[in-house]
Chains A and B, each alone.
Chain A
Amino acid sequence: MKIAVVVYGSPTGSGAAASAYRYVSAALELGHEITRVFFYGEAVHTATALAAPPQDENDLLSRWQQLGQARELDLVVCIAAALRRGVLDADEARRHEKEACNLAPGFTLSGLGQLTDATLNSDRVITFGG
Chain B
Amino acid sequence: MQEADKSLLVVVRHGPYQGQLAREALDAVLTAAAFEQPVSLLFMDDGVFQLTPNQDGSAIDAKNLATMLAVLPMYDVDRVYVELDSLNLRAISPESLTLPATPVGGHALRDLFVNNAHLLSF
Question: Which A residues have a C-beta under 8 Å from some C-beta of B?
Answer: 6, 8, 40-42, 80-81, 84, 111-113, 115-117, 119-120, 122, 124-125, 127, 130
Contact = CB atoms under 8 A, between A and B. Distances in A.
Interface string B31-56: 11001010000000000000000000
A130 B122 contact: yes
A115 B21 contact: no
Given A112-B27, A112-B31, A41 B21 contact: yes
Nearest to B1: A120
Given A119-B118, A125-B120, A127-B119, A113 B24 contact: no
Interface in B1-43: 6, 8, 13, 19-21, 24, 27-28, 31-32, 35, 37
Nearest to A78: B24
Contacts of B20: 41, 81, 84
19 contacts: A8-B21, A40-B24, A80-B24, A80-B27, A81-B24, A112-B31, A113-B35, A115-B28, A115-B31, A115-B120, A116-B35, A116-B37, A119-B32, A119-B118, A120-B37, A125-B118, A127-B121, A130-B13, A130-B121
Task: List the 6 shortest-distance A-B pairs measured between CB atoms, nearest first.
Answer: A112-B31, A125-B118, A119-B118, A116-B32, A116-B35, A130-B122
- Interface majority SS on B: helix, strand, loop or mixed? mixed
B112 to A, nearest CB: 16
A15 B71 CA distance: 34
A119 B122 contact: no
A120 B120 CA distance: 13
Contacts of B19: 42
A119 B6 contact: yes
Which of A40, A42, A116, A117 has its CB near the most chain B CB atoms (within 10 A)?
Answer: A116
A36 to B, nearest CB: 13
A111 B119 CA distance: 19
B47 to A, nearest CB: 11
A127 B35 contact: no
Contact of A127 (B6, B32, B37, B120): B120
A115 B119 CA distance: 12
